[in-house]
Structure 1
Amino acid sequence: MAGYGQQQRGLEKLSHIGRYFNTLELLLSHPGGLALSEISDQTQVPMATAHRILSALRERGYVCQNEHDHYRLTLMIPSMGVNYITETGFAGIMQPLLDDLSTETGEHVRLAAVAEDHLTWVLQATKNTKGLQYRRALDEKIIPHTTAAGKAWLATMRDERAMRILAAWDIENTRDYAGPNARVSIRDIFDDIALIRKEGHAVVREEGEVGVCVVAVAVFDPSRPDNSTPVATLSIAGPIARMREETLGAHIERLKRSAIKVGEHWSLWTALTSSPA
């Protein structure tokens, strides 16, 4: 019985901590801030609990209130991420590779890191000399089934795990929060995944947003014993009018070559950060 009680307390503690992370992640996706009632509703916790969580986060400097009494993140968490990427040498090693690919293609290049069941944008590059530019913020959440990065990542895993990740999203109503060509059935998504596994790259046209085409590949660390698990995805995005078949093929070849280099440099970065100072 004592063991059962300890287990229950552990689950309760985990649930309590999870509420803090849910609140932070919600505010991260709403940079303009949210009212207390909205936070309570979207995190599915009582108003009093939501207020207690936000008060604790305010005391630590992670959250502030604006003139409309909306809660929003301060720059503390983003700055922590930037500092980590900079101090570990990650940006210094990877950014030149992204810059080179962006210069070659003239389009927007992004690198997303794999962390368990999530993808997170970490670096980007834009060296556009072709007029209209496509740019997105790095703090946006990656939707796995509407982005090229997400689909390239899903294609590297077993169907069972991919299904578990997709279950967290309202697939049938995808077009309410994505582009006009977004897939709204599991069957269509897995048809796309099968094609990606065959071709070695993902292409999405107006699935994430109107007027945008993105191509992505998975990045593997060659030093890992089982390099079937990717460490990241690398993608090129641009206006759909410019990302046509005649240019897309060349972009894909450049993307795949760059992904190999990024994987090799990832291995180097891992070795450097894991070695004693």
Structure 2
Amino acid sequence: MSHIGRYFNTLELLLSHPGGLALSEISEQTQVAMATAHRILSALRERGYVYQDEQDHYRLTLKIPSMGVNYISETGFARIMQPLLDDLASETGEHVRLAEVAEDHLTWVLQATKNTRGLQYRRALDEKIIPHTTAAGKAWLATMRDERAMRILAAWDIENTRDYAGPNARISIRDIFDDIAHIRQEGHAIVREEGEVGVCVVAVAVFDTSRPDSSAPVATLSIAGPIARLREETLGAHIESLKRSAIKVGERWALWSSVSGSDSLS
């Protein structure tokens, strides 16, 4: 493997472990010697991409997410998509987020909040999207073959999910795939206290309308709020609004792709 490849492997590893990793763990998982891993991390630290926490674990800084936000702004993507998210947030009174599908992971790219209903759920866009505990992640997994979904899930410590997720998080592959099968039938994903205590989220996949019907999704669109407010009688209307908005986002995604000459933000 090239020297540059080792740097990217290290960044990608830390991206999938927002809680940070020890030097020995990074060395083992990137399959490089401890001394080499330390040199790579030192270089990344000097450039502001990595820092060490109080436990001497290495973590990513917000430099890369910030670069992504700047890039999105410069491409004009936000200008055509943000109004749709704002409208959905106004209609539902809840927190709306758009995540882009990028290879084998999802990345939050835009959000909107219309605070008209008291208690409001909000999260940062640099938050890691865990595929099996988030509505966005499950909606995305439901669009792919089981074999690929299994490969993606293999990167996560499923049995210990509740150590880093909510009290209702699934801790077996069987339960996760039962959820995926249900999502495929319903066309949307709902999670209640799987990612976080007291939070309910509903999500759908977004498809570029210029592509064939068999194409993979380009994004997911979700609504999140306090579980006490997002009850069954409320969710029905929200899901219909969410699905209508996802179609509009897919239409604008197709327009943005044709103008920018790019299929993705990455």
| TM-score, normalised with respect to structure 2 | 0.88
Residue 135 of structure 2: aligned partner? 148
Residue 8 of structure 1: aligned partner? none
1:1-277 correspondence runs (5 A): 11=1, 13=3, 16-22=6-12, 24-25=14-15, 29-30=18-19, 38-45=21-28, 47-63=34-50, 73-274=60-261
Secondary structure at 1:41 match in 2: helix
Secondary structure at 1:210 match in 2: coil
Q: 2:83 & 2:98 partners in 1: Cα distance?
A: 12
Note closer, same or farther for the CA distance 1:203–1:49 as it changes in structure 2 (3 Å cut): same
Q: 1:112 & 1:227 partners in 2: Cα distance?
A: 20
- For 1:267, the aligned partner's letter is A
| Cα contact 2:62–2:126 (8 A) shared by 1 | no
Secondary structure at 1:121 match in 2: strand
Deviations 1:126-177 (A, max 9, x none): 1121111101111111111111001100110111111111111111221111
Q: 1:83 & 1:15 partners in 2: Cα distance?
A: 25
Percent identical = 79
Q: 1:85 & 1:120 partners in 2: Cα distance?
A: 12
Note closer, same or farther for the CA distance 1:150–1:51 as it changes in structure 2 (3 Å cut): same
- For 1:266, the aligned partner's letter is W
CA RMSD in angstroms comes to: 2.4
The Cα of 1:58 is off from its aligned counterpart by 3.5
Deviations 1:197-235 (A, max 9, x none): 111000111111111100000000011135431000000
Deviating more after overlay: 225-234 vs 159-168: 225-234
Whose radius of gyration is greater, 1 or 2? 1
- For 1:233, the aligned partner's letter is T
The Cα of 1:50 is off from its aligned counterpart by 3.2
| TM-score, normalised with respect to structure 1 | 0.85
| Cα contact 1:180–1:206 (8 A) shared by 2 | yes
- For 1:162, the aligned partner's letter is A
Secondary structure at 1:79 match in 2: helix
Deviations 1:167-196 (A, max 9, x none): 111112211111111111111111111111
Q: 1:116 & 1:92 partners in 2: Cα distance?
A: 24
Secondary structure at 1:135 match in 2: coil
Aligned residue-pair number: 258
Note closer, same or farther for the CA distance 1:60–1:215 as it changes in structure 2 (3 Å cut): same
Unaligned runs of 5+ in 1: 1-10
Deviating more after overlay: 76-85 vs 146-155: 76-85
The Cα of 1:24 is off from its aligned counterpart by 4.7
| Cα contact 1:156–1:228 (8 A) shared by 2 | no
Deviations 1:33-56 (A, max 9, x none): x6xxx5303423554333211222
Note closer, same or farther for the CA distance 1:23–1:182 as it changes in structure 2 (3 Å cut): closer
